[in-house]
Amino acid sequence: MPIATVNPTSGETLKTFDAFGPEEIERRVAAAADRFRHYRTTGFDERASLLNGAADLLEQDAPDIARTMTTEMGKPVAAARAEALKCVKAMRWYAQRAEDLLADEHPAEADVTDSGAAHARVHYRPLGVVLAVMPWNFPLWQVVRFAAPALMAGNVGLLKHASNVPQTALYLEDLFRRAGYPEGCFQTLLVGSGAIESVLRDPRVAAATLTGSEPAGRSVASIASDEVKKTVLELGGSDPYVVMPSADIERAARTAVTARVQNNGQSCIAAKRFIVHEDVYDTFAERFTAGMRDLTVGDPLDESTDVGPLSSEQGRADLEALVDDALERGATALCGGARPKEYERGWFYEPTVLAGVTDAMRIHREEAFGPVATLYRVGGPDEAVALANDTPFGLSSNVWTRDEEDVRRFVRDLEAGGVYFNGMTASHPALPFGGVKRSGYGRELSGHGIKEFCNVTTVWHGPEPDSGTS
């Protein structure tokens, strides 16, 4: 895949970039390793000052970088601005809290005296150079939610971004440079996917984090395992959105539209499978479908647009194949199901609701990465849980209910990294984020995320020798 900005609204290639050669890759890896030896010794105050500086610059740059993101991958420009400001929030959150999150932990003396210790503690030290392999769908947020905690912990970063967002990738390197980070702290590698293995195998690279597809995750995990290196993986999702009889159906249906089409439907944590109790199914389906049908599809640089194009021609083709397979096997499109007739150029697809989906259809098992929802009718909580868990993924989940017994049941039984009640899944700096099953492992964000790339070190002190005189 070429490293290029290709406008998904028009299909026009706007700018291409040459991939770095072996010499430049070596220079950057060496710079990262050299910088880590010094940066790891900096204090939290210095790191916080640098990260707050980057946050201030990003806040000023938000309108411009938002347009760049939209031009590169097609998200509505209002959502792109919101993404930039969310990154600002996360940077400031970690700048303020990292020292407390990584403070030494002191077990009770009574718990360690039988180890022979006078006292003991747990200390967190940075691992080193962390390689981040990041996707195009949230081209700022995915990077910052790795970089902010990693840099505050004393690590340094190498970014291999998706090849269709090179200008955003280069902006991120420049952002940290302008904020005053020393050379080597955060660098972008303009390389194709074929270069990842050699970088990851380099002994100067300590660990890796990847957000992306399951095949990409398998590849990185396999290489890192062979090299005995730590990884964090956030892969695909096919999140359930369960609606029970006690729910506020109006709110549930209105929120469901946003939950499905956020980022043009190209989000791992977007709700994708809508599992509705038969007592409220007809009402929910009518309101949800009406909301999806009323969305404005169009130029993502237009402030009034709700849904822009998919990021690539191949992405649209993959989505079409899933929908066509479902329709051929008996599903019904309550709305959408095709390309908008008014757009001959660009990679647009209509917001779509499919009913009558069965396990014989590919879309029942595979992740639909675009504005396509599948609608299911269930008879009770047992059936809802079974259907929600009938997926290889386990990233997050949404449940609408006002019944406390439902709450206990779904928290206990849903196979997911998050359960969001009466609202839609959204990542937040203070809350851990990640999945189970084929959605990956490890956690980003919160105190859990900042500790993922730390050496959790036991510090043990023996008793002082007797000071008697001879």
Enzyme catalytic residues: 234, 268
- DSSP letter, residue 297: B
C-beta separation of 349 from 316 below 8 A: yes
What is the full DSSP assignment across 253-289? HHHHHHHHHGGGG--TTSEEEEEEETTTHHHHHHHHH
Residue that has been written with the tokens 């040459």 in this structure: 18
User: What SS3 state is found at 85?
Assistant: helix
For residue 277 the two structure tokens come to 């109790």
User: What is the number of residues in the chain?
Assistant: 470
Write 337-344 long-range contacts (CB < 8 A, 24+): 340/297, 343/297, 343/309
- Cβ-proximal residues to 404 (8 Å cutoff; 6+ apart), any chain: none
For residue 401 the two structure tokens come to 């209910």
Measure CA 114 to chain center.
Answer: 43
- Cβ-proximal residues to 324 (8 Å cutoff; 6+ apart), any chain: none
Looking at the DSSP bridge assignments, the partners of residue 420 are 398
How far is it, in rounded angstroms, from Cα 63 to Cα 68? 9
User: What SS3 state is found at 393?
Assistant: strand
How far is it, in rounded angstroms, from Cα 2 to Cα 14? 12
Residue that has been written with the tokens 């249906």 in this structure: 253
C-beta separation of 427 from 433 below 8 A: yes
CB atoms closer than 10 angstroms to residue 212: 23
Sign, CA torsion 303/305/309/311 = positive
C-beta separation of 159 from 172 below 8 A: yes
CB atoms closer than 10 angstroms to residue 192: 14
